[in-house]
A and B are shown apart, each in its own frame.
Chain A
Amino acid sequence: MKFIRRALLALSVASAVAGVLRFKGKGVGAIKQGGWRKITDPK
């Protein structure tokens, strides 16, 4: 019983940490340096 309780506690702590990282983590934004330039016909 004690083992199950510990495992459940560990699982819930792990999911809470994962949830915080998942939703509060920094997403990938737009490019901050540089950009895209259109290529014209090589001829």
Chain B
Amino acid sequence: MIGIFGAGVVGSRVAETLSFDSIRSVLVFDSSQVVAQRLARRLLQTNSSIRAVNLGELQNAKVVVLAGPSPHAQIAREFLEKNVSVVSTSDDIADCLNLLTLSELAVKNNATLIVGAASSPGMSGLLVRNMSKSFDNIDEVHVALHGTGGPACARQHHRALSGQSIGWHDGEWLRRPAGSGRELCWFPEPVGAYDCYRGELPDPLLIKRAFPELSRVSARVSATRRDRVFSRMPMLIPPQAEGGMGGLRVEVRGTRNGERIVDVVGVAERVGQVAGAVSGCMAQAISVGEISRTGAFVAGEIALPNETIFGRVLACGVQAHSFVRA
């Protein structure tokens, strides 16, 4: 039994991903019961065992996907204490750090906690693990993200441009003002090229945890001039219900046969769709026992069946593209 906490853009995509397997029972909870019931009713034709539940019933699930706005740490703690495994889609640095501290609690309660199972972080870690197979060793990873999922994701994107970015650089964590370090990044079509800037993103933190051998990790987010100017002010215009076509670009540098190699892989898809597919596939892997180890993990970590999860994410319709030089 898999539970979904939050029936917004990402929660809906998680439910859709899990509904492909009609045998699995899916429980949906949202602070607005009407929203959860509407989602359950919409997917009832593809999965007859999906239903809207209250928070108490959600604790009967084997694994719960936290698909609501961050912070997730307190909710995750409550589920872990009830021996329920948790998949978090949080993309907030402080929240991800707090979630990682729950590793011991997860082990004690024989549960698994996946931190940052979304698009970036999440899909980025899976892509790096998949790309690393074609290298002898990797030493640099640079991630760029374009677009947002639901309104909570848009607010997080807004905050990410006004804080402090972190990046791993030759053995130390570098802090730089978010919104600096412009770089033109090419995403797969139809997204194309966007100026990307350093952002307060948890990607470097989680990717470095999954790949301790890396000497440089950075994360950037696309932004317009208006985004950067108004990032230090509250969001004056309410965000849209869902962002448009998004993109994820992962650049990996390393060596192969003694030569310096740079590989670029990208995804062009709605950010909420990618996040839903990744977190849904992670929950599925825990539910069927493919992830049986207890403790806190991040996408791409060697202890996880990354290849199986990545294959499932692609089967959900998320298309990854590799850049090929002429």
Q: Decide: A37 near B321, CB < 8 A? Known: A42-B307, A43-B307.
A: yes
Name which of B95-103, B146-154, B181-189 contacts chain A.
B181-189
17 inter-chain pairs at a CB distance below 8 angstroms, sorted by A residue, are A33-B325, A33-B326, A34-B324, A34-B326, A35-B323, A35-B326, A36-B321, A36-B324, A37-B321, A37-B322, A38-B319, A38-B320, A39-B314, A39-B321, A39-B322, A42-B133, A42-B307
Contact with A along B111-126 (1 / 0, CB 8 A): 0000000000000000
Contact with B along A23-39 (1 / 0, CB 8 A): 00000101101111111
Contact partners of A43 in chain B: CB under 8 A? 307-308, 311
A residues whose Cβ falls under 8 Å from a Cβ of B: 28, 30-31, 33-43
User: Taking CB as reference atom, which chain B residue is nearest A28?
Assistant: B193
Contact partners of B199 in chain A: CB under 8 A? none
Main secondary structure on A side of the interface with B: loop
Cα A40 to Cα B307 in complex, Å, equals: 12
Cα A31 to Cα B307 in complex, Å, equals: 30
Cα A11 to Cα B320 in complex, Å, equals: 48
Q: A37 to B314, Cβ gap below 8 A?
A: no
Cα A28 to Cα B193 in complex, Å, equals: 7
Given contacts A34-B325, A37-B324, A39-B322, 10 further A-B contacts (CB under 8 A): A28-B184, A36-B266, A36-B321, A39-B319, A39-B321, A41-B311, A41-B314, A42-B130, A42-B133, A42-B307
Does B315 sit within 8 A of A, measured CB to CB?
yes
Contact partners of A35 in chain B: CB under 8 A? 323-324, 326
Does B197 sit within 8 A of A, measured CB to CB?
no
Contact partners of A36 in chain B: CB under 8 A? 188-189, 266, 321-324
Q: A31 to B265, Cβ gap below 8 A?
A: no
Shortest B184–chain A CB gap in Å is 7
Q: A41 to B315, Cβ gap below 8 A?
A: yes
B residues whose Cβ falls under 8 Å from a Cβ of A: 130, 133, 184, 186, 188-189, 192-193, 265-266, 307-308, 310-311, 314-315, 319-326
Shortest A40–chain B CB gap in Å is 7
Main secondary structure on B side of the interface with A: mixed
Cα A43 to Cα B265 in complex, Å, equals: 18
Q: A42 to B310, Cβ gap below 8 A?
A: yes
Q: B265 to A39, Cβ gap below 8 A?
A: yes
Cα A14 to Cα B186 in complex, Å, equals: 31
Cα A30 to Cα B191 in complex, Å, equals: 11
Pairs A-B, 8 closest by C-beta atoms: A36-B321, A39-B320, A33-B326, A34-B325, A41-B311, A36-B188, A28-B193, A34-B326
Contact partners of B266 in chain A: CB under 8 A? 36
Q: Decide: A42 near B311, CB < 8 A? Known: A36-B188, A36-B189.
A: yes
Cα A12 to Cα B186 in complex, Å, equals: 35
Contact partners of A34 in chain B: CB under 8 A? 323-326
User: Taking CB as reference atom, which chain B residue is nearest A27?
Assistant: B193
Cα A28 to Cα B195 in complex, Å, equals: 10
Cα A19 to Cα B281 in complex, Å, equals: 50
